[in-house]
Structure 1
Amino acid sequence: MKNPAVTFAIVVGEHSGDTLGAGLMQQLQLSYPDAKFIGIGGPKMLALGFESLYDMEELSVMGVFEVLGRLRRLLHIRKSLTDYFTLNKPNVFIGIDAPDFTITLEGRLKAQAIKTVHYVSPSVWAWREKRVFKIAKATNMVLSLLPFEKAFYDKHQIPCTFVGHSLADDIPLVSDKHAARQALGLSSSAKILALMPGSRGGELSRLVEPFLQTAKQLLKSEQAKAFELEFVVPMVSDKRAEQFNQLHQKIAPELNVKVIIGKTQQVMAASDCLLTASGTVTLEAALVKRPMVICYKFNPLTYHMFKGFVKLKWFSLPNLLVNKSLVPELLQAAVTVDNILPLVEERLFEDQSALNQAFMDIHLMLKQNASEQAAKAVIDLL
């Protein structure tokens, strides 16, 4: 018997959420082929028939002072969505990541007797732990990507389903470096370093310079002289590529880099080492099984305001998942060429087989048919 038409409201705030949303949509469409999907989505969701009421880029902002500059617009969007979904009640609302925006929205809609799901737990186990009570009040179900998150919610008796990560399902256990290079038109013999300064405008503005300066110094190093060395820069969109190109011309116009748009995972597979911003991309890199050096710089005021509240030894997903220092991390003032260069040299020119085995263990742990599990949890809630 055919399921009746239902409406799924979904809001995502960045490209990693768009990937999760698209996977969830595909699975829900198997059970509800006539379903309507509406809210805020990215390009992958739009390609599946999603109706986006606002551009996803409007929510793609991180940091207290960055948010303050766009607070009026963000509040307007959230109120508009609250009003729209109160009037046009969906069968379920799913907020994917972007917790400071979506959890409040979930709470308002739940108060209107709309079932709500939060997909991707915020880092309540790391800082601002009391947010867990707001999440409990705002949602009917949390869908967690990481196993230790479910244990945290279970402790607080909050409904949570561990679904694994769709990236672990989508990325093959072995990523073919030669095939990726052929597909991208890259050298089969060169050592390739991917420079990955982030998917947000603020990240690029802070990380492009130390990344490019590191690449310049790497060309001068003794180890590098024995190799043909190439630099590749994957960008998530034309807008970010344009921002990178402007910074590149200002900072290091003499440095030869190849910018590739929309093929981040393939660029990672083609590379020997990644110099990357923090975020979901570090998990993707671990699943592709490439060594990496992770850097992050917040707006200075944001960093000084919150550094005392964070309880974590590490900030990157690979290290958090294994609870040890698997890959090097540099934060804020430590993001300097002098610190980055030796870490990149070690991972670019030395054997990394032990690291690859650790990455394989992470891959197998998270490979749980995540989109299918998430869709099942949503359907069970319906």
Structure 2
Amino acid sequence: MHTHKPIRIGVVAGEPSGDVLAAGMLKEIKRRLPDAIIEGIGGPHMQAAGCRTLFDMETLSVMGLVEVLKHLPAILRVKRQLLAHFASHPPDIFIGVDAPDFNLRIEAALKARGIHTVHYVSPTIWAWREKRIHKIARAANRVLGIFPFEREVYDKHQVPYTFVGHTMADTIALQPDKTSARNTLGLEHNAPVLAVLPGSRRREVESLLPIFAKTMDKVRAALPGCQFVIPAVNAQRKNEITGMLAASDAMSSSDVHVLDGHSREAMIASDVILLASGTATLEAMLCKRPMVAAYLLSPLTYRIMQRLYKPDYFSLPNLLADEEIVPELLQEAVNPDTLASTLLPYFTQDNAALIARFTDLHHTLKCDADKCAADAVLEELNA
């Protein structure tokens, strides 16, 4: 009797946004290849979609050029052990999801052994260090991109690229329901609500939350009765956030709700969002809420970026729109006075034109990303 060998898929995501992105694609692959064996590194969403994780994803979730150095020994150990595992259990195809510094190395090593490799989420070569495209070409047979403006660079260098759209654009309603989100979170319906997202990594929370807390005080003074929701990405962050808020004398806690997860509901329930720049700005745009994006880098990383970074903007809504439609504040501008005075007008002015712009951008990213990504992976598998 002939039994076919199940397809083996290796996959690595380095942080929560990659975990969500990969999970949708893996569910779609599993639907078509129910007996596929999927293993690598992933968070709770990928595990729920059938991925066996060999290491804790948090090991890879570090950010910033300087910050990574501290964690390098642990990261290199994971890389060695992962490659050893894939040497004894070679996948038919490997998908690196974001985390380019880690994943491109894994991809290059596997591709050299004749394994098909796909990189999901283009590194920001359109923004800085375009020469990395050569490294990407050596590492990946194909790149799956989530933003339409990326294709140009790949076509220029003749690297196979598939635009798949963004899975969040498929899952978030074009007109999100504020009332039901407020019900879910137990928030007052008539009070103003500010959602505060100081980032998913410890370093971001440590540097931004004290400033955001003082900003909340200023908003509270200007908008009596305002409620604040702070979604924490995991239990660890929640403890850090509640600890830091308790230590900041300025905070009275009755109007501050620190949540376990629920960042999307927090965004949809809010009137305005204050957040660390990153994938969250894209989610805020898709939730159609006015936002102010703050970006705080270590001084050394900032100096390096000033010289290398090409675009005029760093928050995703502005990059997609190719103009500044949301305020983005950097370094010294990330202070309570500037943040509060930038946030407050959004509570009272008519934001209809901004919301219409967000909705247009939503349409450009809504392409059934999970299905497109799964199609591209299976096509590559059979190439």
Does 2:295 correspond to 1:266? no
Does 2:240 correspond to 1:239? no
The corresponding residue for 1:18 is 19
The corresponding residue for 1:138 is 139
The corresponding residue for 1:378 is 377
The corresponding residue for 1:299 is 298
| Deviation (angstroms), 1:184 | 1.1
Give the alignment of 1:195-274 within 5 angstroms: 195-221=196-222, 224-225=223-224, 228-252=225-249, 254-256=251-253, 257-274=256-273
Instruction: After superposition, give the CA deviation of every residue in 1:237-263 in whole Å (9 maximum; x if it has no partner).
Output: 111101111111122463321111121
The corresponding residue for 1:45 is 46
Query: Could you tell which deviates more after superposition, 22-31 or 306-315?
Result: 306-315
In 2, Cα distance between equivalents of 1:67 and 1:113: 30
In 2, Cα distance between equivalents of 1:297 and 1:162: 30
The corresponding residue for 2:124 is 123
2:294/2:329 contact within 8 Å kept: yes
In 2, Cα distance between equivalents of 1:254 and 1:124: 41
AA in 2 matched with 1:161: T
| Deviation (angstroms), 1:305 | 2.9
In 2, Cα distance between equivalents of 1:5 and 1:204: 43
Give the direction of change, closer, same or farther, for the CA distance of 1:76–1:349 in structure 2 (3 Å limit).
Answer: same
Instruction: After superposition, give the CA deviation of every residue in 1:336-366 in whole Å (9 maximum; x if it has no partner).
Output: 1121111100112211110000010011000
Instruction: After superposition, give the CA deviation of every residue in 1:246-304 in whole Å (9 maximum; x if it has no partner).
Output: 11112246332111112110111100000000111110110010000000111222222
In 2, Cα distance between equivalents of 1:4 and 1:379: 16
SS of equivalent residue, structure 2 residue 273: strand
| Deviation (angstroms), 1:95 | 0.4
> Structure 1 regions of 5+ residues with no counterpart?
none
AA in 2 matched with 1:88: H
> Structure 2 regions of 5+ residues with no counterpart?
none
In 1, Cα distance between equivalents of 2:250 and 2:240: 14
2:214/2:250 contact within 8 Å kept: no
1:109/1:116 contact within 8 Å kept: yes
SS of equivalent residue, structure 1 residue 368: coil
| Deviation (angstroms), 1:85 | 0.9
Give the direction of change, closer, same or farther, for the CA distance of 1:52–1:210 in structure 2 (3 Å limit).
Answer: same
| Deviation (angstroms), 1:149 | 0.7
| Deviation (angstroms), 1:331 | 1.0
In 2, Cα distance between equivalents of 1:252 and 1:47: 41
Instruction: After superposition, give the CA deviation of every residue in 1:197-221 in whole Å (9 maximum; x if it has no partner).
Output: 0000010011001111011011222
The corresponding residue for 1:9 is 10
Query: Could you tell which deviates more after superposition, 361-370 or 63-72?
Result: 63-72
In 2, Cα distance between equivalents of 1:308 and 1:32: 46
Give the alignment of 1:102-121 within 5 angstroms: 102-121=103-122
Give the alignment of 1:146-161 within 5 angstroms: 146-161=147-162
In 1, Cα distance between equivalents of 2:110 and 2:36: 20
AA in 2 matched with 1:100: D
1:4/1:32 contact within 8 Å kept: no
In 2, Cα distance between equivalents of 1:271 and 1:245: 20
In 1, Cα distance between equivalents of 2:345 and 2:250: 26
In 2, Cα distance between equivalents of 1:268 and 1:254: 21
In 2, Cα distance between equivalents of 1:243 and 1:134: 37
The corresponding residue for 1:368 is 367
The corresponding residue for 1:289 is 288
Query: Could you tell which deviates more after superposition, 300-309 or 243-252?
Result: 300-309
2:294/2:328 contact within 8 Å kept: yes
AA in 1 matched with 2:53: S
SS of equivalent residue, structure 1 residue 65: helix
| Deviation (angstroms), 1:146 | 0.5
AA in 1 matched with 2:241: F
Q: TM-score, normalised by structure 2?
A: 0.96
| Deviation (angstroms), 1:10 | 0.5
1:121/1:145 contact within 8 Å kept: yes
AA in 2 matched with 1:350: Q
2:205/2:241 contact within 8 Å kept: yes
| Deviation (angstroms), 1:314 | 0.5
| Deviation (angstroms), 1:151 | 2.0
In 1, Cα distance between equivalents of 2:219 and 2:21: 36
Q: Aligned residue pairs: how many?
A: 377
1:212/1:248 contact within 8 Å kept: yes
The corresponding residue for 1:31 is 32
SS of equivalent residue, structure 1 residue 123: coil
The corresponding residue for 2:163 is 162
| Deviation (angstroms), 1:4 | 5.4
SS of equivalent residue, structure 2 residue 308: coil
Query: Could you tell which deviates more after superposition, 299-308 or 2-11?
Result: 2-11
In 1, Cα distance between equivalents of 2:279 and 2:301: 20
Q: CA RMSD in A?
A: 1.2
Does 2:225 correspond to 1:189? no
Q: TM-score, normalised by structure 1?
A: 0.97
In 2, Cα distance between equivalents of 1:30 and 1:138: 28
AA in 1 matched with 2:337: D
Query: What is the percent sequence identity of the aligned residues?
Result: 45
In 2, Cα distance between equivalents of 1:78 and 1:150: 29
In 1, Cα distance between equivalents of 2:245 and 2:302: 26
